[in-house]
Structures are given as structure tokens and as C-alpha cells.
Amino acid sequence: MPRNVYGPDHEAFRSSVREFVERTLKPRAEQMLEVKSVDRDIWKEAGKQGLFGLDIPEEFGGAGADDYRFNAVAAEEIAGFNFAVSSCFGIHSDVCPPYIVDLGTQEQKERWLPGMANGDLICAIAMTEPSGGSDLAALKTTAVRDGDGWVLNGSKTFITNGYQADLVIVAARTDPAKGAKGITLFMVEAGMEGFSRGRKLDKVGQEEADTSELFFEDVRVPDANRLGEEGLGFISMMQRLPQERVGAAVANTAHAFQIFRETVAYTKERKAFGQPVGSFQHNKFKMAELQTKLEVTQAYVDDCIAAHAEQKLTAVDAAKAKWFSAQVQNDVLDECVQLYGGYGFMNEYRVARAWRDARVSKIWAGSNEIMKELIGRDLGL
Ligand SMILES: Cc1cc2nc3c(=O)[nH]c(=O)nc-3n(C[C@H](O)[C@H](O)[C@H](O)COP(=O)(O)OP(=O)(O)OC[C@H]3O[C@@H](n4cnc5c(N)ncnc54)[C@H](O)[C@@H]3O)c2cc1C
């Protein structure tokens, strides 16, 4: 099916992202795996390429594109290259900037946005804690007022870009009596006394993504680093989760589609019993099903992209796109591994790593169960 969501400008941007992937990312793929992160020079190169400033107004060094379809094009191309890199870039460029653009003071925007746009400052967002991620309103990290600032104590875990981040948007409890209404956002900067990070976490997949624990021990954060109003942190996160979730859906679908295309090509070459393995009816039908599943998913995700570009995407529709695309991605990649046979289980084969990388898409940014909870509530259940 032809896709209708993009126009010539988006496709021109796609060509430039593709060229960046070929020139800068692909030659470094093995090295990223070895160092378990994306080196800073790559971040800077991506910044120069205009990948990070799409949501950032021009006066603060961004492109001010104000059209989510450009974000989606970037997410598709990076996810087609590698799902881990797409998660690192996505958090930095798609998830974090709207918080500062929408909630930041003029001084905060001037201080942080230009560096985020050009890749000098790497950003992370820290909501999840060791005691839980799904029940965000129950978070335990505290921020207590002290003179003209705040003192933060607590810890976060599973934070994408956490190891390298120069800036972390941290959700902390400022009023223990007020539940969700007692949460405030703070910008914690690298080098603040008492702010430390654990090791890069040893994950089942996505080795290239640096994912870390963060610790806050009496970290003094000036009030100038408070993001948005006191007590509005939870609602601010809820308002911005649809963009994170549609971004996840875009990446899920693009990643699965790319690996599926590679699998189809493989099954045309690989022979068993004197014929290509793709030509056995079972495999042919299986791939016909996968192609159909992917196209149907893509159609829904495209509608979400178009709706979000017009600021009309609801949190519930974003939740549908996120869980369904995550499920489809996992189903498709599992079949792709099968179609590769034993090679599908070898780490040196991209399909094996893609399969491992994809597993977390049913867990992060709100698990499939939490997405269904939101959809169920919308049904009045
Ligand atoms: C690689 C990776 C990167 C991540 N990056 C970030 C990041 O950058 N920033 C950040 O803040 N977090 C990040 N996370 C955290 C992620 O968002 C959480 O892991 C996720 O929200 C689930 O929280 P949890 O792990 O505490 O699971 P729990 O909340 O403990 O849930 C455990 C299980 O119970 C289920 N469950 C919970 N509540 C319900 C319910 N009401 N109904 C039905 N089932 C339920 C969950 O679906 C899950 O299956 C990342 C996680 C990973 C693995």
C-alpha cells in the first residue's frame, strides 16, 4: 500500500537522514556494540545533520519544524538502522525537548536548547525508580525546599542515555501528602555534587544504548532548574507521553519492517532440499501474513502520525499504537528468526540482535498491560 502521510519535503529529509546513516552510523555499528554506547562525536554529527532540533524553535538553534512528520521520518530511518540507537536519539530529540520548550523559562531555553539541538548536550528523562515504573504517581525520590533551591534524594533506574547525559529531567516528590499532585520536575546537570550514576546496565538487548541507574544524594538543585510549576510534574509527564508513545510505535514498525525485508531477501537466497527456503508454501504464507500485519499496523501508525502532526492525537490512540506495534514487532521478529534457522540465533546476524533489541518495546514507556489499562478505562471499564 502506498503511504500518504508524507510529502516531498519529508521525503527529502528522509534522504538526508539516510545519507547520515550510511556515512556516519553504519561504519560505527560494531564499535557502538563494543563500547556499549553512542560516542559523543556521533551525537555531534547527528546534531549538525539537524536530527535533534526538530522540536526546538529556530531562536534556540533548532529547526522549529513544528511538524511531527519530520520527527517520524527521522525515527523510521534510525530505527531501520538500529533499534538501540533509535531509543537513545528518540529520548534526546523527541521526548525531552518538548518539556523544555513548553515548560521552560526563557533563561532555561537559552541555557539548554541550543546544546541539545547541536548534540553538545545529551539529555535523558528519569521517571522510573527501582521500586516501580508503571505506577509513576508512587515515585519516591524527594525534593525538599531549602533556601533558594531544593535538595534531591533518591534513585532512578533503567534510564536511557543515563550514563552519558549532561542533563536529566528528574521527576521528584515535592509534597508527600499530595500523591500525583505532589510531583515536580527538575533539571539535574552533570557535575552537580551528590549526583552519580551506576554502571551501564547489562541488558538482554540494545547493547549500544547506555542505560543506567542514577543516584541523588543531597543534590542541591537551584530553583532556576525547576522545570514548570511545583506540583505539576505528573500532569506534565502525562501530557507528553503521547508523543513518546507514538514515537515508540513509529520505531517499532520501521524496525520490524526493515528486518522483515532483509529476511525476505535471505529466504530467496538460502536453499534447502534444492530450493529457496522462502519458496516452501508454509514459509511463503507465513511471510504473506507478516507483510500484511506490518502494512495494517503501518496504516494505523500513519494515522496517528498525521493526527499528532495536527496536535489531535489522543493519549488513548497513542496507547493503542504503542502496544499493538510492539506486539506486532515482537511477533514478526520471532518469525524472522525462525526463517533464518540456526543463523537466526547467532549474535553476528542482525536478525538475532534485532529480536533481542525489540523485546523491551512491550515493557518500556508504559508496558502493554498499562496501555491496555488506559484503553480499557476509555471504554468505561
Ligand atoms: C531498556 C530500558 C530503557 C528504559 N528507559 C527509560 C527511561 O529513559 N526513563 C524512564 O523513566 N524509564 C525508562 N525505562 C523504564 C520503563 O519505562 C519501565 O521499566 C516500565 O515503565 C515498567 O516499569 P517496571 O519495570 O518498574 O515494572 P513494574 O511497574 O514493576 O511492572 C511489572 C509488571 O507488572 C505489570 N503491571 C504493573 N501495573 C499493572 C496494572 N495496573 N495492570 C496490569 N499489569 C500491571 C507491568 O506491565 C509489568 O508486566 C526503561 C526500561 C528499560 C528496560
Residue type, 38: V
65 within 8 A of 78, measured Cβ to Cβ: no
368 within 8 A of 360, measured Cβ to Cβ: no
Q: Which of 189, 207, 213, 244 is an active site residue?
A: 244
Q: What is the mean pLDDT of the chain?
A: 97
Q: Which residues have any ligand 1 atom within 6 Å of their CB?
A: 91, 124-128, 132-134, 158-160, 203, 206, 211, 360, 363-367, 369-370, 373
171 within 8 A of 233, measured Cβ to Cβ: yes
DSSP state of 51: S
127 CA closest ligand 1 atom index: 11
The yes-or-no verdict on residue 1 having pLDDT over 90 is: no
Query: Which pLDDT tens digit goes with each residue over 220-269?
Result: 999 999 999 999 999 999 999 999 999 999 999 999 999 999 999 999 99
If you average pLDDT over residues 278-293, what whole number do you get? 98
Q: For residue 108, how many C-alpha atoms fall within 13 Å in the half-sphere facing its CB?
A: 22
If you average pLDDT over residues 99-111, what whole number do you get? 98
**Nearest residue to 290 via CA among 344, 332, 333, 259:** 332
Query: Which pLDDT tens digit goes with each residue over 18-61?
Result: 999 999 999 999 999 999 999 999 999 999 999 999 999 999 99
What pLDDT does 51 receive? Answer: 97
If you average pLDDT over residues 106-131, what whole number do you get? 98
Query: Which pLDDT tens digit goes with each residue over 5-23?
Result: 999 999 999 999 999 999 9
Task: Calculate how far, in angstroms, residue 251's C-alpha sits from the geometric centre of ligand 1.
Answer: 18
Helix axes 233-269, 83-90, angle to 10 degrees: 160
DSSP string, 89-147: HHIIIIIHHHHHHHH--HHHHHHHHHHHHHTSS-EEEE--BTTBSS-GGG---EEEEET
What pLDDT does 39 receive? Answer: 97
- CA-CA distance, 158 to 128, in Å (whole number)? 7
Query: Which pLDDT tens digit goes with each residue over 170-189?
Result: 999 999 999 999 999 999 99
What pLDDT does 286 receive? Answer: 98
367 φ/ψ sector (left φ>0, alpha ψ -120 to 50, else beta): beta
If you average pLDDT over residues 97-119, what whole number do you get? 98
What pLDDT does 230 receive? Answer: 98
- CA-CA distance, 96 to 98, in Å (whole number)? 6
The yes-or-no verdict on residue 217 having pLDDT over 90 is: yes
**Residue 244 is a catalytic residue:** yes
Residue 7, C-alpha cell as written in the block: 510529502
Q: Tell me the best of 83, 208, 367 to mutate to test the pocket of ligand 1, counting ligand atoms within 8 Å of each CB and taking the most.
A: 367
